[in-house]
Structure 1
Amino acid sequence: MELSRKPKAGAARSGDPYFPAHGNGGYRVEHYDLDIDYKLAANRLGGRAVLTAVADAPLSRFSLDLAGFRVPRVLVDGRPAKFTQSRSPRDGGKLHVTPDRPVVGRFTVDVRYSGNPTPVASRWGGVGWDELTDGALVASQPVGAPSWFPCNDHPSDKATYRIAVTTAARYTVAATGVLTARRRSAGTRTWVYERSEPTASYLVSVQIGRYEKVVVAEGPVPQVAQIPARLTKFAARDLGRHPAIMTTLEGFFGPFPFADYQLVVTDDELDVPIEAQGMSIFGSNHLDGRRTHERLVVHELAHQWFGNSLTIADWSHIWLNEGFATYAEWLWSESSGGRTAAVHAREWHAHVAAGPADLVLADPGVARLFDERVYKRGALVLHALRGRIGDERFFALLRDWTARHRHATVTTAQFVELAGQHAGTDLTAFFTAWLYRPALPGERG
């Protein structure tokens, strides 16, 4: 006799060790269909989000992450659902939904919402949708996605997207995905982007500004930059080597994981560049006509493999994003006639060794999520591993790593296991010293 499953409530927390209040249990999202109408002068956003999700067991209620919006209506599988909203700063905002009957298997959630989008508060300041002097940007890492759409805000819950943004016609909209349509009507223009590769919510982005399109490379991976008119004069110098950077990184890491690549340069200064799926965002201060910030261009491009295509299963594994992107900087320097990776490694090893030995790379803790040592010590691990197993096996490992987990989620344990397979020897002591102990090993590990 088959026993029926009693419906349960989906958890309103993800269980993430660093951001347990972000993300939700009981279901996973397959696709987001977002329609956004944004009025820049009023900073007013009206949205409709239709989520296609899957529940593995019957759910009597579930939650979405959404911060600071009025929600007049929620439909589940086309039927009105009851809902409540929590605006606690501790969780960034939750939309708790009770459908008229439990859901199981594939179901849809249709949310209408409106309000003035503001960044989600975090220990690093506001993250998410933010106003520019003349436009808007989205910088959601790590927990800012609920600032502009209802979502399951956890890096492991990757989904496909369709994003339609309507705003004043004189502005350009760049968003996550490939541009599939553009329509103009009565002073506004609607831009439609589609992303068919599974994408984490924090990597979904919208950029709005008065931009001019600059073709960086025609192919085989089309590379396009959106740049304020006053800064286009710097593009030939600052982005002139971008096609060569792309080719070089493909040689190290395997084929670029997306159909195209967008660069956006805002007309405002930014403290640091921003990564998004198939896109990188820079501030006006990152273009100067002297290639001063070319290493950052390399770093953000490398994130398309490490962070975007291969997305960490939870935030404790962040070195897999930042260590690899930092090492890409050193590899490009070496390949383009600059300082070798060995020189970079030697300098940064001395720098890190001079500081406190109180960070465990494989689990740095939320307070040190973006600590400089996560980046630099992460790159030092890779350089030491390269020295241990040799170039042929090392770069074969990197290409296998990106191919095997393309558009999936990854953990430190998975990389350690694969590295051991490629090395053909036991690397337990090596990785224990580098990843799980605070003391910095010697340069050669």
Structure 2
Amino acid sequence: MTSYFPRHGDHRYRVSHYDLKLRYRVSANRLEGAARLSVAAAEPLDVLELDFGPLRVSGVTVDGSAVRHTHRDGKLRLALPRTLTADATVDATVEVRYAGNPRPVRSAWGGLGWEELTDGALVASQPIGAPSWFPCNDRPSDKASYRIEVTADSPYHVVANGVLTGKRRAAGATTWVHEQAEPMASYLASVQIGRYRLDDADGTRLACPAHLATRARHDFGRQGQMMALFSELFGPYPFTGYTVVVADDDLDIPVEAQGMSIFGRNHVDGGRTFERLVAHELAHQWFGNSLTVACWQDIWLQEGFAAYAEWLWSEASGGPSADELAERWRRRLAMLPQDFVLADPGPALLFDDRVYKRGALTVHAVRRALGDGVFFPVLRAWTAGHRHGNVTTGSFAEHVARHAARPVGPLLSAWLYDRPLP
């Protein structure tokens, strides 16, 4: 299968752990970093290629020894001091030191990755923005643990993936240390920096500017109920915690990171106008972050399930039922061009709303075919069996077929591989 982003990622090696030490000066948009990667080869390697953006590299070592390197066209190429063999028990430690003014990676969907805010910074990398701020193997099937240490001016609060394990202040700056033990794809690694106030409620955390706190507490006030519902329907929440960050800037859309979601101030109005998006981003913790697609062709497995979670929340909270919403959206999609295959929409349509909604309709079609008594146990078995791993359309179809009382192949084939809407 052809990669949607052939210049990103390398299947010849994997990274088991990233240790990122960063210092960021908000006023200058200046990032200094040292990234330490634990690398294991899948085949013999004499040269290692990392995805990395236009920040200036000042030095590279492998197992403590300086090595020759070149850095251009989004690739940092290292001449390894020894051949790495395909032995998963032996890692090489690669360290890259770098600095510069970070900027997003250009894409068909605008800038991706590290983005300077009016007063702070955010990271939103899906699908190829991670190299904007650290060297990585930028493919969703290479998941690793992370330690992210960020030093910023003390008025600013830093939120990153995982658990806050350390915080120290010195000379007007504060260092924040977060550790993400569960495997994470590079595009889900995130740092949020702003003048945030933190509130904890119902097992979730809210980080937002003080002037938005009252409205934000109301708009995100039912997340505890959502968490309980999704844990019942999808299985246990897959991470240690969950944080919602509200940036003090307008954002086109909310985005998820592992254990975190990021909204703009324009998504907070005190009236829960955007609550379906709150449900959508929370659901991504199961579908996208714990169960991550192995390749971008299968994005419906993330976005379709997250869109369907919106319908499940509506059903449970007194809104239209999933049946009603499915009928409504099928009528709408029937009026639009039938020009893509859900299981391989192509990079231009990766984030097309038709992928999201046809994906949700596919999930609903499976639910109706199996019945609730079978469908939800099958869904929980799906999330449990692939927890913190990678998934494909093929593995999902096989999983459903194993549990169905009657053949579902023709139904799945029509929804996933036929262009006309079933």
One fold, TM greater than 0.5?
Answer: yes
Equivalent position amino acid for 1:394 in 2: F
Q: 1:232 — aligned with what?
A: 213
Q: 2:157 — aligned with what?
A: 172
Where do 1:372-383 residues align within 5 Å? 372-383=353-364
Aligned pair partner of 2:139 in 148, 154, 177: 154
The yes-or-no answer on 1:406 pairing with 2:391 is no
Aligned pair partner of 2:352 in 371, 375, 381: 371
Aligned pair partner of 2:268 in 287, 291, 297: 287
Q: 1:185 — aligned with what?
A: 170
Q: What is the CA distance between 1:43 and its match in structure 2?
A: 0.6
Q: What is the CA distance between 1:69 and its match in structure 2?
A: 1.1
Where do 1:264-303 residues align within 5 Å? 264-303=245-284
The yes-or-no answer on 1:202 pairing with 2:182 is no
Q: Indicate conservation of the 8 Å contact 1:258/1:278, yes or no.
A: yes
Q: Deviation per CA, 1:130-180, whole angstroms, max 9, x where unpaired?
A: 000000000100000000000000000000000000010000000011100
Q: Indicate conservation of the 8 Å contact 1:80/1:99, yes or no.
A: no
Instruction: Using structure 2 for the length normalisation, give the TM-score.
Output: 0.98
Q: 1:62 — aligned with what?
A: 48
SS at match of 1:370: coil
- The whole-number CA distance in structure 2 between the counterparts of 1:43 and 1:19 is 28
Q: What is the CA distance between 1:390 and its match in structure 2?
A: 0.3
Q: What is the CA distance between 1:239 and its match in structure 2?
A: 1.4
Q: What is the CA distance between 1:414 and its match in structure 2?
A: 0.5
- The whole-number CA distance in structure 1 between the counterparts of 2:405 and 2:35 is 49
Q: Indicate conservation of the 8 Å contact 2:159/2:191, yes or no.
A: yes
Q: 1:44 — aligned with what?
A: 30
Aligned pair partner of 1:95 in 76, 94, 101: 76
Q: Is the deviation greater in 31-40 or in 422-431? A: 422-431
The yes-or-no answer on 1:78 pairing with 2:59 is no
Root-mean-square deviation (Å): 0.9
- The whole-number CA distance in structure 2 between the counterparts of 1:216 and 1:269 is 25
SS at match of 1:264: strand
Q: 1:9 — aligned with what?
A: none
Q: Indicate conservation of the 8 Å contact 1:182/1:190, yes or no.
A: yes
- The whole-number CA distance in structure 1 between the counterparts of 2:291 and 2:347 is 21
Aligned pair partner of 1:392 in 360, 373, 387: 373
Q: Indicate conservation of the 8 Å contact 2:67/2:80, yes or no.
A: yes
Aligned pair partner of 2:7 in 9, 18, 21: 21
- The whole-number CA distance in structure 2 between the counterparts of 1:56 and 1:388 is 41
Q: What is the CA distance between 1:307 and its match in structure 2?
A: 0.3
**Long gaps (5+) in structure 1:** 1-14
Q: Indicate conservation of the 8 Å contact 1:64/1:151, yes or no.
A: yes
Q: Deviation per CA, 1:260-292, whole angstroms, max 9, x where unpaired?
A: 101000000101001100000000011111000
Q: Indicate conservation of the 8 Å contact 1:82/1:100, yes or no.
A: no
SS at match of 1:30: strand
Equivalent position amino acid for 2:34 in 1: R
- The whole-number CA distance in structure 1 between the counterparts of 2:417 and 2:27 is 50
Q: Deviation per CA, 1:357-396, whole angstroms, max 9, x where unpaired?
A: 1110000000000011110000001111111110011101
Equivalent position amino acid for 1:419 in 2: V
- The whole-number CA distance in structure 2 between the counterparts of 1:283 and 1:269 is 5
Equivalent position amino acid for 1:130 in 2: E
- The whole-number CA distance in structure 2 between the counterparts of 1:51 and 1:215 is 33
Q: Indicate conservation of the 8 Å contact 2:11/2:42, yes or no.
A: no
The yes-or-no answer on 1:114 pairing with 2:134 is no
Q: Deviation per CA, 1:56-115, whole angstroms, max 9, x where unpaired?
A: 3331111001101111211111111110011x3xxxx11000022222331110100111
Equivalent position amino acid for 1:28 in 2: R
SS at match of 1:101: strand
SS at match of 2:91: strand
- The whole-number CA distance in structure 1 between the counterparts of 2:375 and 2:194 is 42
Q: What is the CA distance between 1:31 and its match in structure 2?
A: 0.1
Q: Indicate conservation of the 8 Å contact 2:60/2:96, yes or no.
A: yes
Aligned pair partner of 1:135 in 120, 144, 151: 120
**Long gaps (5+) in structure 2:** none
SS at match of 1:155: coil
Q: Indicate conservation of the 8 Å contact 1:16/1:314, yes or no.
A: no
Q: Deviation per CA, 1:330-358, whole angstroms, max 9, x where unpaired?
A: 00100111110011001000000011111
Q: What is the CA distance between 1:16 and its match in structure 2?
A: 5.7
Instruction: Using structure 1 for the length normalisation, give the TM-score.
Output: 0.93
Q: Deviation per CA, 1:172-206, whole angstroms, max 9, x where unpaired?
A: 00001110000000000000000000000000000
Aligned pair partner of 1:215 in 200, 209, 214: 200
Equivalent position amino acid for 2:13 in 1: Y
The yes-or-no answer on 1:416 pairing with 2:402 is no
Q: What is the CA distance between 1:237 and its match in structure 2?
A: 1.7
Equivalent position amino acid for 1:54 in 2: A
- The whole-number CA distance in structure 1 between the counterparts of 2:11 and 2:368 is 42
Equivalent position amino acid for 1:41 in 2: S
Aligned pair partner of 1:316 in 268, 292, 297: 297
SS at match of 1:322: helix
Question: Percent of pairs identical after alignment?
Answer: 57
Equivalent position amino acid for 2:219 in 1: D
Q: Indicate conservation of the 8 Å contact 1:223/1:261, yes or no.
A: yes
SS at match of 1:102: strand
Q: What is the CA distance between 1:25 and its match in structure 2?
A: 3.2
Judging changes above 3 Å, is the alpha-carbon distance between structure 1 residues 421 and 27 closer, same or farther for their aligned structure 2 residues? same
Aligned pair partner of 2:343 in 358, 362, 374: 362
Q: Indicate conservation of the 8 Å contact 1:254/1:403, yes or no.
A: yes
